A and B are shown apart, each in its own frame.
Chain A
């Protein structure tokens, strides 16, 4: 032990945690199997809930007989819509009830639910429920949904005598139905595309088709719900947005939100899937309320496939043009979104898609239209990238095709149209920091893009069955939150104990992305403490301050700024006390290595823990506790979808190298070179993991994953036939970080959570075209699809642009 005298002269060397490789705080628990997921939590007296789903795709429910199920020993509760007269419509468009009333519209539809002593008894009870259906015509193709006379998925109600029931305005779609199959529409424009087209030397138009994939979280969906004796609700839930859901659940239960407490156990994967409330969660609450016992509901893997949201499938026709000198002139886009039977966040992906169409590269004139239409297919939710993978797939292929049509190098073409810092786009996005050109340049240099591109092109017609290809794509995504809700903020409570340990209480949820580690790091950086000094509390709405939720790549940026704000307040408080005690001006003091130090020399003044104890155990005793709420300086979009919606924007370029076996259609992904403008690297280990994971998720979207839906029925709800990428297929990766030091970002950082998945499919398409001269417009690039295209067996896709009137 050092003596007091020695300590006084001790000099603490400057050190920083920023940019270091810091192990995720939850890694040891997860790696050793100790993490208690919702599966591992059991409450005493708990019952097990199961849901009976529809045996039909689209049908009227003529009758439900639950008598045999109710009579089964061990069954406590059986419910159908008839048992819950106070059901309220749920979902983004309030267009369905948790338990379906009178009609099923998709394979996943919930008809009845059981709470029983065991899962086995609950399963057996479901088999005893008899349902009579009357089949209705199925709409399995969104193009059929908009044909005149198409069967309506949500018809307006008619009375027993067949007369139209005119329900009052303002009622939800679940009650009053809809006179057409259009769930949502988006229309955006800036400039004048007619003028843009007139100025163009080259105009191209193509249709692109994006398929269904789903999140495949390793931890399946689940929930435990319990009502206490006073009617207060405790939920163990895997939600990504606890505070918004608290309010929504209260609405569905018709109780005060104050009576709802949500605890989030460690979540086994989110990726956007846990952003909406799904029927099973409300049903679990109904069961617990009826049973007066805790009810646990866990999906099977098959159910996870059948009843989880998907990525938004899109049919898209893009028309774009440029001048001979390589200047982009316009983009005109029409998309048809298959909304499925009900509306979740997938329908709103145009918010993100239109940003990419309007503002990825300098686009003087842009016109964008989406109609999301009801069908009897699964419904799409939010999924990492939120429409951006789909939009980028089309745009970045057109960038290559436009370059080719004017005989310009694709790299030069991109550089010519890429934006610089300070530019404001037609949609009103203001690029305060912008590493776009650095991303393109760096990814191209590190992959030797130009040389390989030319060489591969020359080799297309040479003998040999295996062809090499290289392709590039870039992306633009919000990196400083997104002002979608009335607030985009996050609160922090920071508490220091007598030993200079910190409890960081944050509204931001950890869903495996590493937020608790990064937030701890940012706090420690301010307070001069090691990361081991922090305990994070982030999973209980009764304790943590408000946050809008994990989405839009916002947590590091928003919750990070909030944590820094709280830490700065704590630091100021500490330094003020130290200044007084040691009669040194605050400005000359700092915190470092667990000490209060003299800022100029680094000389230790007092151990921080000792100072905090002094502060606590004195006449005017005080604890160091601070709170901070951060709201980013972004603005809401206006009615025309214009506005600077994020406090910062992230950029990235990925170069993909492939080998195409022309005799089998197998495309081997050889290497991915990425350059991402992340503002600044905070946790190097964490960000590498996030980029690598995102690349693999993008790879699955591009090559292997395909949720096959035929006339509303899922053909492969299992990991045998739904192919995730496995270890041997993961390519070599070379990832570079562009540090544009965003002025508003925490320590200069920007959000990066969604970014790495976005470019992969587009870059892969460009690489296959570079290898073979054949362009693919439809995902995924399975061996058969590639082989067909290479052998001229793929008819040219064309969807005639259409917009809702």
Chain B
């Protein structure tokens, strides 16, 4: 018994955002988060269930100028297998490879992973270190309005984002990284497949003669949202990536995060792992 009254499957972006105007809409894309969460009672269906899968403007992975645009409906499998992503964004492929199971990857979308706003969302950490921007669409008056915002400012809390009820995420935009750009992702769980992160770590930057610049560090599952670790970034910015810098950055990382105890791990263990894995990843980057 649900409150669900209408089902709607628009075929254009205009129709979709028009429908969103009254805000009483549950959006369905891959359904891999919506289905279990609604069954468990964590999400209540609103009056209208809108299936956005027939909207062409939400699909595709394309190179637009110096940005790669990934449509909100791109599935995790499509992203993993796309030549543009493989060539320019291998760190995203790495994260997708650790994303749930084949079946979930075939159905789950990147838009869904972003809007679900889990602190442990697998694609969110690489997207953060790649400076991704979220594209949003709405219809404030009678006209389609589109804008974007940095992903790093998008998340508010677990399952909560700055997207209003009248807005739809249409895709993400990622600047094509420079030639000397390096990026790493590491997901730690109790098993190598089908797991929710105990913690996850993303590190990126431009490496020039052993010195890292434009450093981006992001952590998953250590805060109410995926987070950028700005103090850790500062500790690395412009410094030669030697043992002392790495140890200092790893120590700062440990102090910078404030995780909680839950069924997956204790806060203490998470902090220890942030230290140890950050150190390990930076060591790998230094050797790259």
Contacts and interface: CB of A to CB of B under 8 A. Distances in A.
Contacts of A783: 188, 190, 198, 269
A604 B124 CA distance: 74
A723 B276 contact: no
A723 B263 contact: no
A729 interface: yes
A743 B280 CA distance: 59
A784 B198 CA distance: 10
Residue of B190, B194, B196, B280 with highest tally of chain A CB at under 10 A? B190
Given A727-B193, A729-B191, A784 B266 contact: yes
Nearest to A716: B263
A457 B195 CA distance: 33
A486 interface: no
A726 B263 contact: no
A728 B264 contact: no
B277 interface: yes
B101 to A, nearest CB: 9
Interface string B256-288: 000000011110010011001100100000000
Contacts, number: 50
B262 to A, nearest CB: 9
Nearest to A722: B263
A788 B195 CA distance: 21
B98 to A, nearest CB: 11
B1 interface: yes
Contacts of A782: 190
A383 B95 CA distance: 38
Contacts of A663: 276-277, 280
Interface string B179-206: 0000000001011111110100000000
A356 B47 CA distance: 61
Contacts of B195: 723
Interface string A786-798: 0110010000000
Interface string B197-238: 010000000000000000000000000000000000000000
Contacts of B277: 663-664
A280 B212 CA distance: 63
Determine chain B's interface SS by DSSP, over half rule: loop
Interface string A688-729: 000000000000000010001000000110001101011111
Interface in B96-124: none
Contacts of B188: 664, 666, 783
Contacts of B264: 721
A124 interface: yes
A65 interface: no
Contacts of A723: 190-191, 195
Interface residues of B, number: 20
A664 B263 contact: no
A587 interface: no
A728 B277 CA distance: 22
A727 B190 CA distance: 14
A120 interface: yes
Nearest to A788: B269
A664 B1 CA distance: 45
A302 to B, nearest CB: 8
Contacts of B198: 783-784
A723 B277 CA distance: 23
Nearest to B273: A664
Contact of A729 (B192, B265, B266, B269): B192
Contacts of B263: 708, 715-716, 721
Contacts of B193: 726-729
Nearest to A302: B40
B122 to A, nearest CB: 14
Contacts of A124: 1
Interface in B42-84: none
Contact of A120 (B1, B190, B196, B265): B1
Given A715-B263, A784-B269, A787-B269, A720 B191 contact: no
A793 to B, nearest CB: 8
Nearest to B100: A720
Nearest to A727: B193
A664 B195 CA distance: 16
Contacts of B190: 704, 723, 782-783
A304 to B, nearest CB: 15
A741 B65 CA distance: 76
Contacts of B280: 663
A569 B6 CA distance: 70
B193 to A, nearest CB: 5
A723 B193 CA distance: 10
Nearest to B265: A784
A127 B41 CA distance: 13
Contacts of B192: 726, 728-729
25 contacts: A120-B1, A123-B1, A127-B1, A663-B280, A666-B188, A720-B196, A721-B263, A721-B264, A723-B190, A723-B191, A723-B195, A726-B191, A726-B192, A726-B194, A727-B193, A728-B191, A728-B193, A729-B191, A729-B193, A782-B190, A783-B188, A784-B198, A784-B269, A788-B269, A791-B272
Given A663-B280, A726-B192, A729-B193, 7 more contacts: A123-B1, A721-B264, A728-B192, A729-B191, A784-B265, A784-B266, A791-B272
> 3 tightest CB-CB pairs across the interface, nearest first?
A784-B269, A663-B276, A726-B193
Interface of A: 120, 123-124, 127, 663-666, 704, 708, 715-716, 720-721, 723, 725-729, 782-784, 787-788, 791
